[in-house]
Amino acid sequence: MPIASPAASVALEGFELRVLHLPLVSPFTTSFGTETVREVIVVRALTDGGDGWGEIVTGASPLYSSEYTQGAWDVALRFLVPALLERGTMAPEAVAEVLAPFVGHRMVKAGLELAVLDAALRSEGRALGEYLGSMRDRVPSGVSIGIQRDPAALVDAVDGYLAEGYARIKIKIKPGRDIADTAAVREAFGTIALQVDANSAYTLADADTLAELDRFDLLLIEQPLQEDDLVDHATLARRLRTPVCLDESIVSAKAAADALALGSASIINIKAGRVGGYLEAVAIHDLCRDAGIPVWCGGMLETGIGRAANAALSALPGFTLPGDVSASNRFYTRDIVTEPAILEDGHVRVPTGHGIGVEIDPVALDDFTVARETLTR
For residue 106, give the nearest of 263, 286, 317, 300 by alpha carbon: 300
Single-letter amino acid, residue 290: D
* Nearest CB to ligand NPG, comparing residues 55 and 247: 247
Tell me if 155 sits within 8 A of 188, measured CB to CB.
yes
CA distance 31 to 25: 19
Using CB under 6 A as the binding rule, the residues of this chain from 38 to 67 that contact ligand NPG are 59, 64
Using CB under 6 A as the binding rule, the residues of this chain from 228 to 287 that contact ligand NPG are 247
Determine which residue in the list 16, 113, 118, 324 makes contact with ligand NPG, applying CB under 6 A: 324
Residue 13 CB, nearest distance to ligand NPG (Å)?
31
* Nearest CB to ligand NPG, comparing residues 59 and 357: 59
Determine which residue in the list 299, 304, 322, 340 makes contact with ligand NPG, applying CB under 6 A: 299
The answer to the question of residue 72 lying near ligand NPG (CB under 6 A) is no
Which DSSP helix (H) or strand (E) runs through 112? helix 106-124
Contacts with ligand NPG, 358-377, as mask; x by CB under 6 A:
--------------------
Catalytic-residue membership of 170: no
Catalytic-residue membership of 174: no
Handedness of CA 51, 95, 279, 255 (dihedral sign): negative
Among 48-56, 281-289, 300-308, 363-371, the segment contacting ligand NPG (CB under 6 A): 300-308
CA distance 175 to 164: 29
Looking at the DSSP bridge assignments, the partners of residue 245 are: 222, 267
Among 180-188, 234-242, 283-291, 296-304, the segment contacting ligand NPG (CB under 6 A): 296-304
Tell me the site size for ligand NPG, rule CB under 6 A: 14
Q: Which residue has the CB atom at the shortest distance from ligand NPG?
A: 299
* Nearest CB to ligand NPG, comparing residues 62 and 82: 62
Looking at the DSSP bridge assignments, the partners of residue 349 are: 138
Among 74-82, 125-133, 299-307, 312-320, the segment contacting ligand NPG (CB under 6 A): 299-307
CB neighbour class for 217 (10 Å; exposed up to 12, middle 13-18, buried from 19): exposed
For residue 198, give the nearest of 217, 220, 166, 231 by alpha carbon: 220
Among 111-119, 130-138, 175-183, 297-305, the segment contacting ligand NPG (CB under 6 A): 297-305
Using only the alpha carbons of the chain, give its radius of gyration.
20
Residue 81 CB, nearest distance to ligand NPG (Å)?
23
Tell me if 29 sits within 8 A of 277, measured CB to CB.
no
The answer to the question of residue 301 lying near ligand NPG (CB under 6 A) is yes
What contacts 119, CB < 8 A, 6 or more positions away?
10, 45, 47, 49, 50, 51, 52, 355
Using CB under 6 A as the binding rule, the residues of this chain from 128 to 147 that contact ligand NPG are 144
By three-state DSSP, how is residue 12 classified?
Answer: strand
- What does each C-alpha distance from 242 to 143, 146, 186, 221, 294 come to in angstroms? 20, 21, 15, 7, 14
Residue 358 CB, nearest distance to ligand NPG (Å)?
16
* Nearest CB to ligand NPG, comparing residues 113 and 197: 197
The answer to the question of residue 326 lying near ligand NPG (CB under 6 A) is yes
Determine which residue in the list 169, 246, 300, 348 makes contact with ligand NPG, applying CB under 6 A: 300
Check 109, 170, 172, 174 and give the catalytic one. Answer: 172
DSSP class per residue in 169-194: EEEE-BTTBSHHHHHHHHHHHTT--E
Where in the sequence numbering do the catalytic residues fall?
172, 271
Binding residues for ligand NPG, rule: CB under 6 A, are 30, 59, 64, 144, 197, 199, 247, 298-302, 324, 326
